[in-house]
Amino acid sequence: VNVDDLPTPALVVDIDALDRNLATMADLRPGDALRPHVKAHKCTALAARQAGVGHRRFTCATPREVAGMVGAGVGDDLLLANEVLDPMRLGALAALQDEARITIAVDSTEAVRAAADAGLREVVIDVLVGLPRCGCPPEDAPALADLARQRGMAVRGVMGYEGHLMMLDDTAEQAVRVAEVTRTLREVHGRVGGELITTGGTGTFHLHPTAVEGVYYEVQAGSYALMDSHYAGASLPFEQACWVVGTVISVADRWAVADVGLKALGMDHGNPPVVDGTPWFYSDEHVTFGATPLPQAGERVRVQPAHVDPTMAMHDAAWVVSGDEVVDRWAIDLRGW
């Protein structure tokens, strides 16, 4: 099957570009120095490919992602890098602990108690490092670790996500500020214990050490595998490896319309770029775009995701291509919660 024969809109993964991205990252942060984040692709087949280049540990954002990874048998150490308070969901996670090592992030006494009550065995203490989201103040981390241990859980270390530093234009300033985060996490880790400091993302993966004095640093990058137009704005050694392919269904005097709309594309990072065109606006099932010359009805057009994570979550499968040949179809099987 040729990519031009796929029904559209079609989510397409370029396996060669993907493999180059995976190889580049595996060279720079080999093995357990990277804990790939599956939220960026929600696809166990893609995670298995990440495992194939040496990463055994994975990061998840939702209980569904953890359960799906366990079900697929991919990875032997799964971190839910997010707080969960729902006893039912936590109990379901706890029931999976005989099949896989499962660790959950906690940042409050409520979260610690909920995890302990559900029977979870291992936690990391999630520390606030500047992004106003989850994470306890650094000074609260030791007490939370103590509480977790009192409740019978092991504390594997600390977590901190510096999401506010992923895309700084001034790379020197970015390096300084990420180093501050790393220093904070190391200080907190010294009072919390455990073997792990888990942190970072695609925009800062190169600014974290891999190990210092016996403490292991792992980076939770996800977007590096497939990339998007947002991260393309940073100077990163990764290339675009996924697209949404559409068909031109209507052509006017100054614009054309393709059947790739905002139900097929994450829109929180602005208009996704149209290859060889300029998007005017996206509707539910359309993009209206300009191009010189305009394409003809029936021609194909490629759209670059602006934010890969929600884009992947909108499709039930990705077509895997090598050049123009469709070589596989991967279910986006970690969708939902």
How far is 332 from 326, CA to CA, in rounded Å? 17
Among 1, 23, 85, 327, binds a copy of itself (CB under 8 A): 85
Decide whether 132 or 293 has the Cβ nearer to a copy of itself.
132
Question: Minimum distance from CB of 173 to a copy of itself (Å)?
Answer: 21
Is-contact 161 135, C-beta < 8 A? yes
Decide whether 33 or 199 has the Cβ nearer to a copy of itself.
199
Decide whether 60 or 215 has the Cβ nearer to a copy of itself.
60
Question: Minimum distance from CB of 260 to a copy of itself (Å)?
Answer: 10
How far is 287 from 256, CA to CA, in rounded Å? 8
DSSP 261-322: -TTSS--TTSPPPBTTSEEEEE-SS-EEEE-SSPPPTT-EEEE--SSHHHHHHT-SEEEEEE
Among 2, 150, 250, 278, binds a copy of itself (CB under 8 A): 250
Q: Kindly indicate which of the ranges 195-203, 213-221, 241-249, 318-326 contains the residues binding a copy of itself, using the contact rule CB under 8 A.
A: 241-249
Residue 313 in contact with a copy of itself, rule: CB under 8 A: yes
Is-contact 181 165, C-beta < 8 A? yes
The count of residues in the chain is 337
Among 255, 272, 274, 332, binds a copy of itself (CB under 8 A): 255
Decide whether 256 or 321 has the Cβ nearer to a copy of itself.
256
Place of tokens 């079900």: 71
Residue 88 in contact with a copy of itself, rule: CB under 8 A: yes
Of the candidates 220, 214, 216, which has an alpha carbon nearest to the alpha carbon of residue 200?
220
Residues of span 195-234 touching a copy of itself by CB under 8 A: none
Among 170, 268, 292, 293, binds a copy of itself (CB under 8 A): 268
Among 12, 18, 29, 39, binds a copy of itself (CB under 8 A): 39
Burial call 167-193: b when 16+ CB within 10 Å, e when fewer: ebeeeeebeebbeebbebbbebbeebb
Among 41, 55, 89, 208, binds a copy of itself (CB under 8 A): 89
Alpha-helical (H) ranges within 11-152 are: 15-28, 44-52, 63-72, 87-94, 109-118, 141-150
Return the structure tokens found at 34: 């990277």
Q: Kindly indicate which of the ranges 185-193, 232-240, 264-272, 321-329 contains the residues binding a copy of itself, using the contact rule CB under 8 A.
A: 264-272
- How far does CA 34 lie from the centroid of its chain? 12
Residue 249 in contact with a copy of itself, rule: CB under 8 A: yes
Is-contact 317 332, C-beta < 8 A? yes
User: For residue 206, what are the contacts with CB-CB under 8 A and spacing of at least 6?
Assistant: 28
Residue 83 in contact with a copy of itself, rule: CB under 8 A: yes
Among 2, 150, 278, 283, binds a copy of itself (CB under 8 A): 283
Pairing of strands 278-282, 325-331: unpaired
Q: Kindly indicate which of the ranges 24-32, 199-207, 224-232, 265-273 contains the residues binding a copy of itself, using the contact rule CB under 8 A.
A: 265-273
Residues in contact with a copy of itself by CB under 8 A are: 7-9, 39, 61-62, 82-86, 88-89, 107-108, 110-111, 128, 132-135, 137, 163, 247-252, 254-255, 257, 259, 262-264, 266-268, 280, 282-286, 288, 296-298, 309-310, 313-314, 316, 335-337
